[in-house]
Amino acid sequence: MEQISEPYLLKMDCEGCEFDVILNDYEHVKKFEKLIIEHHAKITGIEYTKLVDKLSSDFRCELTSSVPGASKEEVGLLWCDKNK
């Protein structure tokens, strides 16, 4: 059986503050094995690619839709797994 390390999962849906947390407190974010982040680029005016660029040094991320009718680039989910 695979042992799960701590901390394992970070789920963020904070209506725009995800940019502040990831871009300014990345030392804590990168401790997790998995991330589920709902980004709100439309609210913040910051492109979601800024998050992906920051996360890509430690994680593989996939972007999916989260809100019907909105593009995943405006509001979407980033599913990230730590690089092994």
Summarised one tens digit per residue, pLDDT across range 7-21 is 999 999 999 999 999
For the entire predicted model, the pTM comes to 0.88
Which segments of the chain have a pLDDT < 70? 1-5
Give the C-alpha separation, 3 to 54, whole Å.
27
Q: So what's the pLDDT on residue 6?
A: 80
Pair 12, 51: CB distance under 8 Å: no
Q: What are 48's two structure tokens? A: 């979601």
> To the nearest whole percent, how much of the chain has pLDDT over 70?
94
